[in-house]
């Protein structure tokens, strides 16, 4: 009987910890974490992005599994990344190859992704990617959080 009570008590404690972790993760989502957020492109090499220079506003989404996906404005892209604290490396893997009306803006965004990202910073719902000390890409969280599975 004592073993059963001990087992039930341990099960309740374990479930309690799992519940706390889930609610903590949901709370983090409201503070624009790197992952689970659709980051809208706002500038490339300190130059503001003109929304009319893209078919649709470009974005990037970093996933918990070390992959990223996004849209260059017309073409979709994907790759992998490694992040530890504020350090980051980005490995662009590929993109679709649709012929779009405005390719210069897409090329500039793609060049930024391939620029050798080394660090990032998130402040006031803004994600900035750096290559060394140079600001390469700036994104804004427009509040479009992804549903967690």
- Structure confidence by residue, pLDDT tens digits, 107-127: 999 999 999 999 999 999 999
How long is the chain? Answer: 149
3-state secondary structure of 42: strand
Q: What is the spatial distance between Cα 16 and Cα 60, in angstroms, rounded to a whole number?
A: 34
Instruction: Return the DSSP state at 53.
Output: G
User: Average of pLDDT values for 59-65?
Assistant: 96
131/70 Cα distance (integer angstroms): 20
Instruction: Give dist(CA 148, CA 145) in Å, integer.
Output: 9
Q: Decide: pTM greater than 0.75.
A: no
CB 39 within 8 A of CB 57: no
């Amino acid at each position: 009987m004592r073993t059963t009570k001990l087992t039930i008590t341990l099960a309740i404690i374990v479930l309690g910890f799992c519940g706390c972790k889930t609610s903590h993760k949901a709370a983090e989502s409201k503070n624009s974490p790197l992952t689970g957020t659709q980051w809208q492109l706002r500038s490339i090499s300190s130059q503001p992005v003109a929304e009319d220079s893209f078919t649709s506003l470009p974005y990037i989404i970093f996933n918990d599994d070390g992959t990223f996906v996004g849209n260059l404005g017309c073409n979709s892209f994907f790759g992998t990344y490694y992040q530890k604290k504020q350090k980051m490396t980005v490995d662009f893997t590929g993109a679709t190859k649709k012929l779009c009306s405005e390719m210069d803006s897409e090329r500039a965004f793609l060049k930024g992704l391939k620029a050798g990202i080394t660090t990032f910073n998130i402040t006031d719902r803004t994600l900035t990617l750096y290559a060394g000390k140079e600001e390469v890409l700036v994104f804004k969280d427009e509040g479009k959080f992804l549903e967690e599975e």
